[in-house]
Chain A
């Protein structure tokens, strides 16, 4: 396991933890006298020392791996107070202080409960944060989490995952007489040209923005997946076809206006009411519909 990593050392919060430990050492060494070796209790040192060590590790991991924000700041502040208190507790095993000097005793005791109260607030905020995140993720993942099927560019799930979801909805529909399910295909006409003219970086950014926008506009019960390239699939459970058409019209309009697409590009949306008994058949039927519409559209125009 890598114990030392440059990214940890370069974080000022981590350095501050080191400073706090050193300040405690300084205070103890200046105000106290080193105890004789015979009266030092190794078991006490082991217990308190390992607790301190683990607390420092947990605080470091929290601040370096979490994004910045209120929750992280609260965890850090509370953790720092705990570290301060625990360090003095460990140093207590090595130094003896004059009986008249109560300062260190207060410094050892007082920050601990304050730190724990702050951490409790942090935990409550973290719980709220998780609820919000889960709601955000709902449109991406619904009831199943399977990271090998995540598209690395947009963080949406991909076709294998979508098939599982559609299978589930078809089973529910058949067993409970639930409302119908609609599948939607969304793609960007002439995306290859855009990619060629503007570069793959611009193409990737467009897809990323499009996926973020669709996630924002879809309902919590819907699910968006990236099929391939500029093709997306949407599952609209318990939705009538007319409802789906209205919803997708709004999404298409928003995509066209917000993404500032060049004139040769447009968003193509196709809806399909699921009547098939298997997910693969339903998706194939959707693709067939898309091909037919694409083939006949130039003739119609």
Chain B
């Protein structure tokens, strides 16, 4: 695993996002100074740092906007502004990519140019692709929840707008949202179904991944790609949490042990440094390990209604009772109830 950036590095290019957000906030009665109040940001600081933000600053801005601007359509409008005003080269790059698959790869690679939502590794099922959004931690309590809510809405909005801009049949897509995040009426009109799921995600029919964009502009694509590569600090710089997530997921899949010691060894740093690094992103090792297990659990149940014994074994639990207790702790429901819920999702997605 390559060394990753810490959450206090100014790796995010916030200008397009802020340029889209501030006028919308202003028209809804929230001035920029009011929006920045309670965050680590100010107009002066933005100018000094040339609109480059740390992860933490971006998270606090998202939480602040979600709390203060009482408009459920806010993030959809921010994303629409990014698309219509072409404020970000990453938007152009994904709209004019050859296929949706290529667009998603670009989105994952250059996501620091738009906002730090994180895709979990995509899961390919029989006839659809599952994209999930990892909850990004780092703030406390209520602000964390607000930030996750904002992240989910932005992520879903970007993908739906991308699908529509590429002329894809988004009415075949399936959106899943946690119970405490309400889907926009617009989304309900656009997609096939909006369902409830602990981790926010999107299901896209597999055949759409190779569809070519009917209005592809090659010149714009190459120009956007150059811009993205120039603006992106290090081309091979991976998201910290995504790297850890992938490693833990791989360890579970191959049946290897996953511990903080092994993670530290894998990265090549001391145990205490590893702990500090995870904490700087708002996670303890156990928290992120639980998140990976939860994500894996949901995807396993989408494939097949495995029994508790099978699930325990696949998730690295020595005892099915431990797994059962963990499920109750994560979701507030027992595996049997989750199996019923996910079976419905499985049937629905199989029909995609």
List A residues at the B interface (Cβ < 8 Å): 148, 150-153, 192, 195-197, 199-201, 203-204, 208, 228-229, 231
Contacts and interface: CB of A to CB of B under 8 A. Distances in A.
Nearest to A154: B28
B242 interface: no
Given A151-B71, A153-B71, A199 B81 contact: yes
Contact of A199 (B28, B72, B84): B84
A195 B70 contact: no
A235 to B, nearest CB: 20
B57 to A, nearest CB: 24
Given A195-B80, A199-B84, A228-B73, A152 B185 contact: no
A63 B72 CA distance: 35
A201 B20 CA distance: 10
Given A152-B28, A152-B29, A228 B81 contact: no
A277 to B, nearest CB: 25
5 contacts: A150-B70, A152-B28, A153-B28, A228-B73, A228-B185
Contacts of B77: 195, 200, 203
B27 A192 contact: no
Interface of B: 23-24, 27-30, 69-73, 77, 80-81, 83-85, 184-186
A152 B37 CA distance: 18
A199 B27 CA distance: 14
A200 B71 contact: no
Contacts of A195: 77, 80, 84
B184 A228 contact: yes
B69 A196 contact: no
Contacts of B70: 148, 150-152
A151 B81 CA distance: 20
Contacts of B73: 228-229
Given A148-B70, A204-B27, 4 more contacts: A195-B84, A196-B83, A199-B81, A229-B73
List the 3 shortest-distance A-B pairs measured between CB atoms, nearest first: A152-B28, A200-B77, A200-B81
B71 A152 contact: yes
Nearest to A152: B28
B55 to A, nearest CB: 26
B72 A228 contact: yes
A28 to B, nearest CB: 41
Contacts of A152: 28-30, 69-71
A152 B26 CA distance: 10
Contact of A192 (B24, B83, B186): B186
A153 B84 contact: no
Given A152-B29, A152-B30, A195-B80, A200 B185 contact: no
A166 B29 CA distance: 28
Contacts of A148: 70
A229 B185 contact: yes
Contacts of B185: 228-229, 231
Contacts of B186: 192, 229
B71 A201 contact: no
Nearest to B27: A204
Contacts of A208: 27
A57 B152 CA distance: 46
A213 B52 CA distance: 42
Given A152-B28, A152-B30, A229-B185, A200 B69 contact: no
Contacts of B23: 201
A189 B186 CA distance: 13
Contact of A153 (B27, B80, B81, B83): B27
Nearest to B25: A152
Nearest to A149: B70
A204 B23 CA distance: 11
Contacts of A199: 81, 84-85
A201 B27 contact: yes
A93 B80 CA distance: 66
A150 B29 CA distance: 11
Nearest to A196: B84
Contacts of B71: 151-153
A199 B81 CA distance: 7
Nearest to A147: B70
A203 B84 CA distance: 12
A201 B85 CA distance: 11
B153 to A, nearest CB: 14
Nearest to B71: A152
Contact of A200 (B29, B72, B84, B184): B84
Nearest to A228: B185
Contacts of B83: 196
B119 to A, nearest CB: 26
A195 B85 CA distance: 11
A231 B166 CA distance: 27
Contacts of B85: 199
